[in-house]
Amino acid sequence: MLAERTKMIDSSGIRKVFALAGQLDDPVDFSIGQPDFDVPQELKDKAIEAIRSGQNKYTQTAGNGVLKQKVAGRLRAELGWQKPEVLITSGVSGGLLLAFMSLVDPGDEVIVPDPYFVIYKHLVNMLGGKCVFVDSYPDFELPVQKICEAITERTKLILVNSPCNPTGAVYAREQMTRLAKIADDNNIIVISDEIYKKFCYDGEYSSMACFCDNIILLRGFSKSYAMTGWRLGFAAANEKLNDVIEQMIKIQQYTFVCAPAPFQQAAINALDYGVKDYVDIYRNKRNFIYDGLKGRFDIVRPAGAFYFFVKVPGSEGAAEFVKRAIAENVLIIPGNVFSERDTHFRISFATSDEKIRQGVEILRRLV
């Protein structure tokens, strides 16, 4: 009865743990990648104003014209793109689906650094493609040489996610420059997932799009402005790949139709809203966890996003360690949700300082 593609995916391991949170008494919830601050009031007011003024109907499929123009102007200034094509999407996840549907045929190979964001694997599988996982352990840097060695005649895409979920890695300019040349020389498209670009703690952010012509850029508003439930992002390309954006727009006509209209109005203002104070707060959260867990755990300090990807001590599998943590009221995600390995677990530090203190103490006690 059911379509074969339903057998290619499982329910999200993240959502399973998130659902479990509702059954526990005041847990330390390190599970979900959702900011613990609310949408800034100024941006809420813009959305409310849009709703009250009747801006509740469909926008054009590609998005609100003013928002598109503003995004395009920012990309021209940041990246030097002359004629960027922009599509407003229902979150970066919506952009990923549209991009994969536009580019991936059955049998096509998609190179994915491991660990990876959970959605990549399942979308590629549902479309009949094949993920080629390239190991980035133990430091989680961009594995340029391994990616080069993984390229075959069936390689269609390379996925780059920086800052990265689940590792928090921010890729170095030198690594991205090398990968860009490899992609351009082999005429392989790079999809750059930059949803966490605002959350960089140790220096200025550099986009893969600064170095690569063959690129589809995906960014969003969910993490930076706590708009996770508003489902708003954008996809963009320079002239070379404008035809891909055109195909994504066509597919959006028959899927999402358009991104939520009143929230697009708020996004126009969000592009001018500074989040430095939030970034400073999250840098302090990162530092507290790193200082609390190093020495007890094999841990890489993340340079961005709001995650740690922590190795389980000894020979215990991550799934078993996670069970013990949950028994102590700490919700963490087993690493095999994000990886072909079962050696690590993910911590999201998008929670209160008090919960972080409690969680660090419990995790230290578990080892």
pLDDT at position 253: 97
Pairing state between β 215-220 and 189-193: parallel
| Residues 263, 242: Cα–Cα separation, whole Å | 25
Work out the average pLDDT over 44-61. Answer: 97
Assign 237 to helix, strand or coil: strand
pLDDT at position 17: 64
pLDDT of 3 > 90? The answer is no
Widest CA span in the chain: 60
In the sheet with 344-348, reading across from the earlier edge strand, the strands are 307-311, 344-348, 333-334
pLDDT of 32 > 90? The answer is no
In 232-352, where does DSSP find H-type helix? Answer: 242-253, 261-270, 276-293, 318-327
Work out the average pLDDT over 126-155. Answer: 97
Fill in the DSSP letter of residue 230: G
pLDDT at position 108: 98
Q: For the chain, how are helix, strand and coil distributed in percent, rounded to 5?
A: 45, 15, 40
| Residues 222, 47: Cα–Cα separation, whole Å | 14
pLDDT at position 14: 61
Q: How confident is the model at residue 6 (pLDDT cuts 50, 70, 90)?
A: confident
pLDDT at position 15: 59
For the CA atoms of 166, 284, 142, 161, the dihedral, rounded to the nearest 10 degrees, stands at 50
Work out the average pLDDT over 31-55. Answer: 95
Whether omega before 163 lies within 30 degrees of 0, making that bond cis, reads: yes
Whether omega before 138 lies within 30 degrees of 0, making that bond cis, reads: yes
User: Tokens 């959605």 — which residue?
Assistant: 119
User: In the structure encoding, which two tokens stand for residue 267, read together?
Assistant: 């996004």
Beta bridge partners of 216: 191
pLDDT at position 22: 64
204 exposure class (CB count in 10 Å sphere: 0-12, 13-18, 19+) = exposed
User: In the structure encoding, which two tokens stand for residue 322, read together?
Assistant: 């996670």
pLDDT tens figures, 169-219: 999 999 999 999 999 999 999 999 999 999 999 999 999 999 998 999 999
User: Tokens 């860009």 — which residue?
Assistant: 180
Residues 6+ positions from 275 with CB-CB distance below 8 Å: 198, 224, 225
Work out the average pLDDT over 21-25. Answer: 71
What length does the chain have? Answer: 367
**Percent of the chain at pLDDT exceeding 70:** 97
State the DSSP H helix or E strand holding residue 215, giving kind and residue range, or none if neither: strand 215-220
For the CA atoms of 53, 57, 59, 61, the dihedral, rounded to the nearest 10 degrees, stands at 170
User: In the structure encoding, which two tokens stand for residue 224, read together?
Assistant: 């930076």
pLDDT at position 316: 86
pLDDT of 23 > 80? The answer is no
Q: How confident is the model at residue 12 (pLDDT cuts 50, 70, 90)?
A: low
Closest CA to 80 of 221, 238, 225: 238
pLDDT at position 162: 98
pLDDT tens figures, 75-133: 999 999 999 999 999 999 999 999 999 999 999 999 999 999 999 999 999 999 999 99
225: alpha, beta or left? (left if phi > 0; alpha if psi -120 to 50): alpha
Whether residue 142 contacts residue 176, with contact meaning beta carbons closer than 8 Å, is answered with yes
Set out the domains of the chain in order of their start, with CATH numbers. Answer: 4-32+275-366 (3.90.1150.10), 41-270 (3.40.640.10)
User: Tokens 């360690």 — which residue?
Assistant: 321
User: In the structure encoding, which two tokens stand for residue 208, read together?
Assistant: 């893969």
pLDDT of 21 > 70? The answer is no
Per the prediction, the chain carries an average pLDDT of 94
pLDDT tens figures, 287-321: 999 999 999 999 999 999 999 999 999 888 898 89
Fill in the DSSP letter of residue 78: H
Work out the average pLDDT over 135-162. Answer: 98
pLDDT tens figures, 222-277: 999 999 999 999 999 998 999 999 999 999 999 999 999 999 999 999 999 999 99
pLDDT at position 11: 67
Name the pTM for this structure: 0.94
